[in-house]
Amino acid sequence: MKIPRAEHPRPQFQRQTWLNLNGDWTYVFDFSQSGKAQGFAEAAGFDAHITVPFCPESRLSGVGFTDFIPAMWYVRKVRIPEGWGGQCIFFHCGGIDYLMELYIDGVLAGSHAGGSSPVELEIGRFVKAGAEHHFVIHVQDDTRSRRQALGKQSISRQSAGCRYTRTTGIWQTVWLEAADRRGLRHCTITPDFDNGAFAFAPEFIEAGRGCTLTIRMLDSGKCAAQETLHAGSGTTALLKLPEPKAWSPEFPFLYDIEFTVRDGEGRVLDCVTSYAGLRKFHVEGDRLYFNNQEIFLRLVLDQGFYPDGIWTAPSDEALRRDIELAMQAGFNGARLHQKVFEERFHYWADKLGYLTWAEFSDWGMGFWRVDNTRAAAAYPALRDYFGQWSSVVARDRNHPSIIAWTPLNETNDPLDLAEHRRFVSDIYDLTKQLDPTRPVNDSSGYIHAKTDLWTVHNYAAAGEKLSEMLKQKPVWMNFPAEEGAAYCGQPLLVDEYGGVRYYLPGSKPYAANSWGYGDLPKSEEEAVGRIAGLTRALLDTPGVRGYCYTQLTDIEQEENGIYTFDRRPKFNMEAIRAIFSGKPEP
């Protein structure tokens, strides 16, 4: 059987010693959640088969079960490669929703909480090189608990409104990786655009006396800079480039990077390949700058859903194709909405010069009345949030295409407004500690507490009305009574607008509850005219520094995309490109 999604899942941290575990697993649903009592942890196999990394709700999994799945179990026999003896062996998965436990031959080898944060477990003591082992994964996913991050997964049985088919269990690539105990665990790469340099902050699996780390930066295969330092977590290196090349949307140049760890005798212990882009994105007053040049952001809302894979792209080519479709429509980037996109998406954004705002799938965490009516019930979600968001930022902060972080979306009707402000401010501070190089959009749309970007959501149906609202002073606010103190002259961006619903001639609504913002246009010309009028209003309104149009594709019953759910263009794309390629007058 051909391995689905066979490409390496982590292009910015790649070893040769890895084993892709996608493909055929057996599984069983555990509706009564009695699997442990039934001995499922010691299972050698179940009757039903599922194709990993696709969730059981998806068609690509071979299952296609879309009702609630409170728990399930996976099992697969895995042979550990002969040459992996004496090394650390890591179990990885980009995403398992929501709680997971890994059993190896019936013994608990590790656990993880969080459906959108990466899983990494060191399992060397549970396996033997050259031997076969039974890997059993136990998943629990209580989407109605109001205590776990869901993003746009539906909390009702059927998809409705702006919530769609759920994702349970494994939904990103599963793989094993072997590394020397003195090898590299991670390295934060920070571009220093103004000085033509990169800063490197490595972390090691274990400290090795006498070990060194050599960092080589390559420009088209030729060494552009190199440094060797003693291998120790907490050390840093600055590699200055004699002829620095910038990364930009127009010229997305990437330096290849080689990390080599050696022992005191010069023997190679570990080799990791990576890449990086030299760029800078920052805020000055109420304006945005990319590589020290003022920029206007023309973003599209991308929620990353697929008809056949739900949260999982059917192929690596599909990830790239979504970016290409957005760029063909005239956008220079995307707000990645209520989903932590897999690393391969960011890789293609890096390669293609596509700017993104990375966002957490925070909906469902129970911080606000829309999710919960009792304040006490929010605290377990609060505890989980900080660790999960931290691991997402740490995973993705080396990608040059990511220019801003959005930890929360549409935070309104808080259980306690003062507590809300403290909580959101703490998240802002945490994000800046993890990555001081990027602006933080504390909560997309509302209610702001501490933010570098002033973002608002406005679904006015006509450009004149939108323009009138955005001219309010000092700035337009979704909830002025609750967020006024947070405005300190930040750049104004309308990071949700539009949402014009339209159907291709001869097509029918996806479902009886299909919808879009505003009245249904009577023709393509009317729909395009409405999009053009709204976008022109943003370009012509002084002080607006960017926008995000809703949205790239239809998603199930929400049919307001530029493209259909299966990625067919809904409009004359030359007209659409002309609209979204427009820039404000100087």
Q: What is the pLDDT of residue 367?
A: 76
- Average pLDDT value for residue range 23-43: 98
Q: With cut-offs at 50, 70 and 90, classify the pLDDT of residue 453.
A: very high
Q: Is residue 8 part of a domain?
A: no
- Average pLDDT value for residue range 240-244: 97
Q: What is the pLDDT of residue 585?
A: 81
Asked whether residue 23 falls in the same domain as residue 159, the answer is yes
The pLDDT tens digits of the residues spanning 256-276 come to 999 999 999 999 999 999 999
Asked whether residue 80 falls in the same domain as residue 144, the answer is yes
DSSP bridge pairs for 268:
262
List, in order, residues 6 or more apart from 28 with CB less than 8 Å away: 35, 40, 46, 47, 48, 72, 73
List, in order, residues 6 or more apart from 373 with CB less than 8 Å away: none
Asked whether residue 387 falls in the same domain as residue 523, the answer is yes
Asked whether residue 367 falls in the same domain as residue 494, the answer is yes
The pLDDT tens digits of the residues spanning 464-504 come to 999 999 999 999 999 998 988 899 999 999 999 999 999 99
Looking at the chain, the whole-number percentage of residues with pLDDT higher than 70 is 98
Q: What is the pTM of this model?
A: 0.97
The pLDDT tens digits of the residues spanning 526-543 come to 999 999 999 999 999 999
Q: What is the pLDDT of residue 414?
A: 84
376 has pLDDT over 90: no
Asked whether residue 147 falls in the same domain as residue 230, the answer is no
Q: Is residue 373 part of a domain?
A: yes
Q: Is residue 586 part of a domain?
A: no
Amino acid at 389: W
Cα(410)–Cα(393) distance, rounded to whole angstroms? 20
Q: What is the pLDDT of residue 410?
A: 94
Q: How many Cβ atoms sit within 10 Å of the Cβ of residue 387? A: 12
- Average pLDDT value for residue range 168-188: 97
381 has pLDDT over 90: no
Burial of 473 (0-12, 13-18, 19+ CB in 10 A): exposed
Asked whether residue 269 falls in the same domain as residue 316, the answer is no
Q: Given 248, 276, 304, which residue is the final one in a domain?
A: 276
Q: How many domains does the chain have?
A: 3
- Average pLDDT value for residue range 426-455: 97
Q: What is the pLDDT of residue 370?
A: 67
Q: What is the pLDDT of residue 535?
A: 98
Asked whether residue 224 falls in the same domain as residue 297, the answer is no
Asked whether residue 494 falls in the same domain as residue 555, the answer is yes
88 has pLDDT over 80: yes
Q: Given 179, 207, 227, which residue is the final one in a domain?
A: 179
Q: With cut-offs at 50, 70 and 90, classify the pLDDT of residue 182.
A: very high
Q: Is residue 585 part of a domain?
A: no
Cα(253)–Cα(247) distance, rounded to whole angstroms? 5
Average pLDDT, the chain: 95
Domain residue limits at 30: 18-179
Q: What is the pLDDT of residue 374?
A: 60
CA–CA–CA angle 77, 95, 275 (5° rounding): 105
Q: Is residue 6 part of a domain?
A: no
Q: Is residue 355 part of a domain?
A: yes
Asked whether residue 161 falls in the same domain as residue 238, the answer is no
Q: Is residue 482 part of a domain?
A: yes
- Average pLDDT value for residue range 140-165: 93
CA–CA–CA angle 578, 569, 458 (5° rounding): 65
Q: Is residue 187 part of a domain?
A: no
